[in-house]
């Protein structure tokens, strides 16, 4: 490896001088300087190898040679905007259409998931003639101003909720309104959306769209109960709105069972608009919106053209096609199902062993581990999760947390993640949790009882264990 032209300390100092502090780093107390990636691994400036468990952008693996080659070869020939005829954009649209329900047959290409969701919002409003949006609590849909407004995860710390935004409960069957013991959580949560819609209509508001990640990620790696989306769509359509499925984090075979996560809700469920980003380009800036002929025609009826300078450019489309090729040739959808099932199996064994693990949920290579302080209250173990993430990083494993309590370990690795990777990561997780428990047992103030908090004592050893 070539010598690092700028030492880590110098790079950090330059970043602090030149970039805003709001552009945060992972592990801010001791950030990692990553200089290379390959497959499911990343390498720092010293050559240390880290297992990447969270990078759902490098969908088929960091620097996949076929994807890199496709970009390089097209870059050598032509890269220009999509106002000229070119086969790449047509080939890409055709390939995407073959993965989607027939109804979703019109495509718009963009540069990012945020752009895709912003366009989806415009499409919905033009088609319905309405303005208001229903979203799920704790949702995040992008960094544009229009999307901050429909992202409770962000707007609650900024200007607050706009009058045209209506928030429905997150369909979380572990710590939400309706839990695993409810006879029909899908219907119960869908009725909450119906209630939110009715309340908005009573105020004279009209619903343009319901936005939801097909599997809410920032909300805590949530798996909505099967049948929830179809019932929600009925309520939204009855109100004159459309259903937008945000697949930016979970599409392209990640769930294993299906190519798209919304398909987990049933074969007959078809959203009106689907948005794509992140994994679609394996790190290259490309995104897409797929919708129906009816929605597209309403948008066209304004007479205002939709033009995105480099959305759908020849290089981006070559990259997108290469990603689809790799997914197919390497059978990564089936691989995600196999490896994800094995990871869930090993994590469930850890749950039986470690009381801090309250819930294991997921599908394919989208998995959450919900850490708790108390079995009865299910209080989020936020500090413990932060400590665990830090210890894993010391063991060259990159993992992160999500959820309102920042206590849910999120697994969203590149799709080439292996069975050996699973065994290694879970073994390290087990060792760290065991060490945490041993430290706590040595503290005299540990609260007794089977549901006791693992790291709630006040002794100095326990504060160290909790990372405080």
Residue matched to tokens 């908005």: 200
Q: What is the pLDDT of residue 439?
A: 83
Q: Mean pLDDT throughout 246-260? A: 98
Confidence of residue 216 (pLDDT cuts 50, 70, 90): very high
What's this model's pTM, rounded to 2 decimal places?
0.92
Consecutive H or E run containing 43 = strand 41-44
* Closest to 386 measured CA to CA, from 362, 397, 402: 402
- Interatomic CA distance for residues 27 and 387, integer angstroms: 11
Consecutive H or E run containing 227 = none
The single-letter DSSP state of residue 305 is: P
Residue matched to tokens 């939110």: 196
In what side-by-side order are the strands of the sheet with 132-136?
106-110, 287-291, 273-276, 242-246, 207-213, 132-136, 165-168
- Which domains are present in the chain? 8-62+332-465 (3.90.1150.10), 65-329 (3.40.640.10)
Q: Mean pLDDT throughout 130-147? A: 95
Q: What is the pLDDT of residue 448?
A: 39
Q: What is the pLDDT of residue 159?
A: 83
Burial class (CB in 10 A: 0-12, 13-18, 19+), 267: exposed
> CA geometry: angle at 213 spanning 212 and 219, to 5°?
100
- Interatomic CA distance for residues 430 and 445, integer angstroms: 24
In the predicted structure, residue 467 carries a pLDDT above the cut 90: no
**Cα dihedral 451, 457, 461, 467 sign:** positive
Q: Mean pLDDT throughout 330-352? A: 98
- Interatomic CA distance for residues 198 and 435, integer angstroms: 51
In the predicted structure, residue 373 carries a pLDDT above the cut 70: yes
Confidence of residue 468 (pLDDT cuts 50, 70, 90): very low
- Interatomic CA distance for residues 443 and 431, integer angstroms: 19
Q: What is the pLDDT of residue 229?
A: 98
Burial class (CB in 10 A: 0-12, 13-18, 19+), 450: exposed
* Closest to 240 measured CA to CA, from 208, 218, 265: 208
In the predicted structure, residue 466 carries a pLDDT above the cut 90: no
Q: What is the pLDDT of residue 77?
A: 98
Q: What is the pLDDT of residue 156?
A: 86
Q: Please give the structure tokens belonging to residue 198.
A: 């009715």
* Closest to 207 measured CA to CA, from 194, 217, 220: 194
Q: What is the pLDDT of residue 3?
A: 57
* Closest to 395 measured CA to CA, from 43, 55, 45, 49: 49
Burial class (CB in 10 A: 0-12, 13-18, 19+), 34: middle
On average, the pLDDT of the chain sits at: 93
CA dihedral 206, 177, 224, 406 (to 10 degrees): 100
- Percent of the chain exceeding pLDDT 90 equals 88
Q: Please give the structure tokens belonging to residue 181.
A: 């013991």
- Interatomic CA distance for residues 341 and 216, integer angstroms: 20
Q: Mean pLDDT throughout 391-412? A: 97
pLDDT digits (tens, 9 = 90+) for 41-83: 999 999 999 999 999 999 999 999 999 999 999 999 999 999 9
Confidence of residue 6 (pLDDT cuts 50, 70, 90): confident
* Closest to 440 measured CA to CA, from 423, 460, 420, 422: 460
Beta-bridged to residue 37, according to DSSP, are 42
- If DSSP states are collapsed to H, E and C, what string results for 396-416? CEECEEECCCCCEEEECCCCC
Q: What is the pLDDT of residue 158?
A: 86
Among 16-25, 298-307, 433-442, the range scoring the smallest mean pLDDT is 433-442
A 10 A CB-CB count for 186 gives: 21
Residue matched to tokens 């010598």: 3
Q: What is the pLDDT of residue 442?
A: 58
The single-letter DSSP state of residue 215 is: S
pLDDT digits (tens, 9 = 90+) for 419-428: 999 999 999 9
Q: Secondary structure of the chain: what % helix, strand, coil (to 5)? A: 40, 15, 45
Q: What is the pLDDT of residue 463?
A: 44
Q: What's CA 158's distance to the chain center, in Å?
A: 22
């Amino acid at each position: 490896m070539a010598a690092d032209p700028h030492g880590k300390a110098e790079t950090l100092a330059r970043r602090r001088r030149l970039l805003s502090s709001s552009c945060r780093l992972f592990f801010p107390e001791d950030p990692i300087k990553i200089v290379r990636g390959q497959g499911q691994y990343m390498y720092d400036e010293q050559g240390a190898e880290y297992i990447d468990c969270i990078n759902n952008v490098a969908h088929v693996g960091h620097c996949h040679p076929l994807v890199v080659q496709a970009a390089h070869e097209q870059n050598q020939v032509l890269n220009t905007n999509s106002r000229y005829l070119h086969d790449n954009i047509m080939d890409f649209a055709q390939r995407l259409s073959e993965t989607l329900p027939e109804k979703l047959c019109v495509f718009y290409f963009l540069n990012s998931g945020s752009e895709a969701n912003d366009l989806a919002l415009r499409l919905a409003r033009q088609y319905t003639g309405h303005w208001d949006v229903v979203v799920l609590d704790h949702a995040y849909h992008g960094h544009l101003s229009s999307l901050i407004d429909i992202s409770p995860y962000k707007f609650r710390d900024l200007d607050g909720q706009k009058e045209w935004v209506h928030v429905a409960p997150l369909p979380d069957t572990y710590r939400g309104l309706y839990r695993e013991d409810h006879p029909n959580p899908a219907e119960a949560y869908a009725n909450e959306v119906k209630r939110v819609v009715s309340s908005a209509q009573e105020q004279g508001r009209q619903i343009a769209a319901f936005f939801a990640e097909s599997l809410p990620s920032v909300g805590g790696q949530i798996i909505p109960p099967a049948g929830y989306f179809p019932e929600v769509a009925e309520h939204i359509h009855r109100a004159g709105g459309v259903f937008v499925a945000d697949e930016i984090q979970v599409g392209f075979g990640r769930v294993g069972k299906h190519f798209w996560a919304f398909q987990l809700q049933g074969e007959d469920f078809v959203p009106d608009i689907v948005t794509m980003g992140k994994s679609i380009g394996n790190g290259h800036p490309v995104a897409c919106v797929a919708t129906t002929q009816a929605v597209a025609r309403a948008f066209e009826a304004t007479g205002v053209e939709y033009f995105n300078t480099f959305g759908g450019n020849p290089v981006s489309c070559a990259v997108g096609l290469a990603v689809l090729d790799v997914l197919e040739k390497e059978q990564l959808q089936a691989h995600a199902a196999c490896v994800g099932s094995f990871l869930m199996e090993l994590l469930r064994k850890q749950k039986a062993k470690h009381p801090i693990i309250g819930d294991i949920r997921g599908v394919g290579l989208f998995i959450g581990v919900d850490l708790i302080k108390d079995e009865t209250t299910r209080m989020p173990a936020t500090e413990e999760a932060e400590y665990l993430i830090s210890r894993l990083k010391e063991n060259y494993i990159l993992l992160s947390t999500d959820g309102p309590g920042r206590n849910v370990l999120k697994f969203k690795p590149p799709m080439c993640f292996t069975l050996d990777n699973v065994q290694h990561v879970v073994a390290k997780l087990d060792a760290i949790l065991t060490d945490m428990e041993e430290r706590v047992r040595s503290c005299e103030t540990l609260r007794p009882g089977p549901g006791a908090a693992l790291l709630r004592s006040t002794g100095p050893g326990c504060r160290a264990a909790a990372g405080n």
